[in-house]
A and B are shown apart, each in its own frame.
Chain A
Amino acid sequence: MEMQGIDKAFDSVAACVNCQFELRSGEVHALIGENGAGKSTLMKILAGVYKKDAGTISLRGQQVDIPNPHAAQVLGITMIHQELNLMPHLTVAQNIFIGREPRSPIPYLLDDAKINQQAKELLASLNLHFNPKMRVGGLTVARQQMVEITKALSYNSQVLIMDEPTAALTESESEELFHMINRLRDKGIGIVYISHRLEEIKRISDRVTVMRDGHYIATKLTADISIDEMISLMVGRTIYESKPEIPDHASPDIVLEVRNLNRGRELQDVNFSLKRGEILGLAGLMGAGRTEVARAIVGADPVDSIDLTVNGRKVHIRSPKDAVQHGIGYLSEDRKRYGLITGMDVANNVGMASLRKFLRAFGIIDDTRVSEAAQQQVKALAVKTPSVKQKVRNLSGGNQQKVVIAKWLTADTDILIFDEPTRGIDVGAKSEIYKLLNELARQGKSIIMISSELPEILRMSHRIIVMCEGRITGELSSNEATQERIMQYATQRGGMVTALEESA
């Protein structure tokens, strides 16, 4: 299988530029790169999920066209997505054969005995010994994945694409998956393995292809490349635009302290603190648990345990409303869904989190005062809008983000948690947001900034903590931080960290 010169753009943002990829049968070929490097996009083109803008795909030397997932299936290409495509209420066998059930001689009648028998044989051929009559919803994620793999192979797939297959697995489950991958390789199936976990890649892959910013970078034999080399290929040699503005005198006051934050396997023993006027960068790869930390702090999700101290006082935050009362605001990565009411005007959005302040007698909202407060913020934050009566929907991404910030400032929050503050914002507006964050920090607001863009983390953060798989794996001051060091921590699994700490 070979892909050449693949281009793909979404809304004129290029996701893949002149990309190439090659896969031999009986090979495990790893595809690596930072978040947004274009790995998944490239593979979704191969699996027929996206249509390519340019380029060619050939299979066994013959050029092929893959307009939809079904066409890919017919060609023997199957992708196992991160979000598994299973029907939780149906049984294992029913899931495997959905859409092509063995029928009884009477039309429309199912032959369940045959479905279960065939599923059992398929599972057995892969050395899987679980009951085909089990409901998929009751299986562990690892087993659900095995069901997807079984389903894929039942289409006689020759190319199997796995997108972050171990993201939700425990170590022993991953081990089981690797055995499975080895068996499939021995059967001559070509496997594309997308993962952030470089140790895994080192272990199971034959070759590695690196992508960065939508470009093909290199393909190497796994045996010839070290993990450090992989990291440096992934991050490239980009020069940082500027160093963070760090105040001369770091404030000693700790405004927020998080201790003993646990939730199942998602968050494990997260501890950190935030000082007044500090911008704390929270780095990590997708699924590392950064957003979960933020949501846990503001009480948006249930947790197993958390000790929170705000301004030296222990507090119990059970809901986002409590968080606001303690001066903590969370600015979601998905502004349109969680941050703004886009159909309402700027003034109402700015006042949304603090409407109580603007009430007249009998609970009537004093629109004049809301407008005044909004006008003040619009001016202070330089929001570009014709008036505060403008609907938020009509503003640009950067200005929408400013409206969200204005909302939290109006609500008198001193601790602001920004989740991907510049996602979907164009480059020019980005630097304005950066300036604003610096200004807020100077005024004594404390900021936690979650970001997947390493240059952004490096440019803004006074201090950086790195997470991987629900744990904090490292802390870096701004002058010791580099993209490489962050990536190292971000790809470290729990087991290794403990080992490192013990040896240190």
Chain B
Amino acid sequence: MQTGTVTRENPATSYTHRILKSEAIQRILAFAALLIMIIFFTLSSPNFLRTQNIEGIFLSTAVNGILAVGVTFVIITGGIDLSIGTVMTLSAVITAKAVSEVGLPIGIGILCGLLTGALAGLINGVVIARMRVPPFVATLGMLYVAKGLSLILSNLAPIYFDRDSGFTDLATGVILEIPDIISIPNAVLIFFGAALIGSFVLGRTILGRYTFALGSNEEAARISGVSTARWKIVVYTLAGFFSGLAGIVIAARLNSAQPALGQGYELDAIAAVVIGGTSLSGGEGSILGTVIGAFVISVLTNGLRILSVPQEWQMVVTGAIIIVAVFLDMARRRGK
């Protein structure tokens, strides 16, 4: 009973928290996790590093990666977009209808798909910024609306593209290839292109600056004369546009629009963003992190499959990784 002093842990002084608080660390963590996974799977299975498998990983990252790039913007503003998966599907359906049923040229069909995505995003933005519906609810609503419309427009059945139309080349064709070493499917090029553009917009343009400002302190931005509502609408529209792009890529990959597909993709994309170190509470994040996050998910899925881990267990592992990623993110934040 000599000492009654209770020392409750003060997070600011705790050692582990101090390590985690540095800015770049989360991104490095994700990157390190990716490398460790690659090394682990390479050692565990001779099939992992095969060219064909690597191409497969790249291809399976593309759609989720494009969605994730778009939703990164939304998440940096402190918002969320749950509708990206089903909006992607709606865009695919619209493109397929335009090309296969109406008979429009492929270029026009693609444009229709992109505009569909952007329009859905615009509506999300208006509902959130002008009508003040919380992003979670507004985009949850859009999730169902887009899903329903996809099913209605397609009569519940997949719409196929003409095999000779060359539409699939958009995703699975190859224009970049190092002969005998690796050939990069076009879908992957589109993904990298989207990531580069996203990264540029986020880092170098007014839109990017205000994206961070909105997530960091919206009121301060408003008082400083930023039209916060307008820029928020632009951000959601951008996320919708990227969903449209993802819709075209997935339609090209499958050579069809699958109306029942889509729900669940939003969660994979959000997971990629979170693993990549973008904060769900807004204000910080990066496209590079998101790209790494997208690869973490696809490498994990692919590697576990190669090791013949049942699909159910793949999910368990993926889930655990997401929780650990967010835990580290929160620990870092508390340390500040």
Mark interface residues in A101-117 (1 if CB within 8 Å of B CB, else 0).
10100001110100000
Residues of B within 8 A of A151 (CB): 224
Q: Is A260 part of the binding interface, using a Cβ–Cβ cutoff of 8 Å?
A: yes
- Complex alpha-carbon distance, A70 and B204, angstroms: 26
Q: Is A53 part of the binding interface, using a Cβ–Cβ cutoff of 8 Å?
A: no
Distance (Å) between the CB of A386 and the closest chain B CB?
A: 35
Q: Is A355 part of the binding interface, using a Cβ–Cβ cutoff of 8 Å?
A: no
Q: Is A26 part of the binding interface, using a Cβ–Cβ cutoff of 8 Å?
A: no
Q: Is the CB of B10 within 8 A of A309?
A: no
Residues of A within 8 A of B225 (CB): 70, 73, 99-100
Q: Is the CB of B221 within 8 A of A317?
A: no
Which of B116-124, B212-220, B301-309, B311-319 has 4 or more CB atoms under 8 Å from chain A? B212-220
Q: Is the CB of A85 within 8 A of B223?
A: yes
The verdict on A69 contacting B5 (CB below 8 Å), with A88-B216, A108-B205, A112-B204 known, is no
Residues of B within 8 A of A94 (CB): 209, 213
- A-B contacts, 8 of them at CB < 8 A, read A85-B217, A87-B212, A87-B283, A89-B284, A98-B224, A302-B11, A306-B5, A316-B4
Q: Is the CB of A109 within 8 A of B220?
A: no
The verdict on A314 contacting B221 (CB below 8 Å), with A101-B206, A108-B207, A110-B206 known, is no
- Complex alpha-carbon distance, A315 and B223, angstroms: 48
Residues of B within 8 A of A103 (CB): 206
Distance (Å) between the CB of A95 and the closest chain B CB?
A: 8
The verdict on A307 contacting B4 (CB below 8 Å), with A87-B216, A89-B284 known, is yes
Q: Is A200 part of the binding interface, using a Cβ–Cβ cutoff of 8 Å?
A: no
Residues of A within 8 A of B205 (CB): 108-110
Q: Is the CB of B213 within 8 A of A305?
A: no
Mark interface residues in B1-21 (1 if CB within 8 Å of A CB, else 0).
100111111111000000000
Residues of B within 8 A of A70 (CB): 225
Residues of B within 8 A of A133 (CB): none
B8-59 contacts to A (CB < 8 Å): 8-12, 23
Q: Is the CB of A85 within 8 A of B220?
A: yes
Chain A: CB-nearest residue to B21: A138
Cβ contact of A305, chosen from B5, B12, B283, cutoff 8 A? B5
Cβ contact of A99, chosen from B23, B208, B221, cutoff 8 A? B221
A296-330 contacts to B (CB < 8 Å): 299, 302-309, 314-318
Q: Is the CB of B213 within 8 A of A90?
A: yes
Cβ contact of B4, chosen from A88, A110, A314, cutoff 8 A? A314
Distance (Å) between the CB of A415 and the closest chain B CB?
A: 17
- Complex alpha-carbon distance, A215 and B284, angstroms: 45
Q: Is B230 part of the binding interface, using a Cβ–Cβ cutoff of 8 Å?
A: no
Residues of A within 8 A of B130 (CB): none
Q: Is the CB of B207 within 8 A of A304?
A: no
Q: Is the CB of B204 within 8 A of A99?
A: no
Q: Is the CB of A98 within 8 A of B221?
A: yes
A451-492 contacts to B (CB < 8 Å): none
Q: Is the CB of A303 within 8 A of B213?
A: no
Q: Which 4 A-B pairs have the closest CB atoms?
A: A314-B4, A87-B216, A89-B283, A99-B225
Distance (Å) between the CB of A350 and the closest chain B CB?
A: 31
Chain B: CB-nearest residue to A70: B225
Cβ contact of A109, chosen from B9, B204, B213, B216, cutoff 8 A? B204
Chain B: CB-nearest residue to A111: B204
The verdict on A110 contacting B209 (CB below 8 Å), with A100-B225, A309-B4, A318-B8 known, is yes
Q: Is B321 part of the binding interface, using a Cβ–Cβ cutoff of 8 Å?
A: no
- Complex alpha-carbon distance, A88 and B8, angstroms: 27
A112-138 contacts to B (CB < 8 Å): 112, 135, 137
**Interface-central residue, A89, A94, A101, A314, by most chain B CB under 10 Å:** A89
Mark interface residues in A246-277 (1 if CB within 8 Å of B CB, else 0).
00000000000000100110000000000000
Cβ contact of A86, chosen from B7, B206, B220, cutoff 8 A? B220
Q: Is B226 part of the binding interface, using a Cβ–Cβ cutoff of 8 Å?
A: yes
Q: Is the CB of A304 within 8 A of B10?
A: yes
- Complex alpha-carbon distance, A135 and B209, angstroms: 13
Q: Is the CB of B219 within 8 A of A85?
A: yes
Q: Is the CB of B215 within 8 A of A89?
A: yes
Chain B: CB-nearest residue to A316: B6
- Complex alpha-carbon distance, A260 and B208, angstroms: 48
Distance (Å) between the CB of A83 and the closest chain B CB?
A: 10
Residues of B within 8 A of A86 (CB): 217, 220
Q: Is the CB of A303 within 8 A of B4?
A: no
Q: Is the CB of B216 within 8 A of A90?
A: yes
Q: Is the CB of A306 within 8 A of B6?
A: yes
Chain A: CB-nearest residue to B228: A99
Residues of B within 8 A of A315 (CB): 4
Cβ contact of A87, chosen from B6, B9, B11, B221, cutoff 8 A? B221
Distance (Å) between the CB of B315 and the closest chain A CB?
A: 33
Q: Is the CB of B223 within 8 A of A69?
A: yes
Residues of B within 8 A of A304 (CB): 7, 10
Q: Is B336 part of the binding interface, using a Cβ–Cβ cutoff of 8 Å?
A: yes
The verdict on A99 contacting B6 (CB below 8 Å), with A85-B217, A87-B217 known, is no
**Interface-central residue, B221, B224, B284, by most chain A CB under 10 Å:** B224
Chain B: CB-nearest residue to A135: B23
Distance (Å) between the CB of B47 and the closest chain A CB?
A: 43
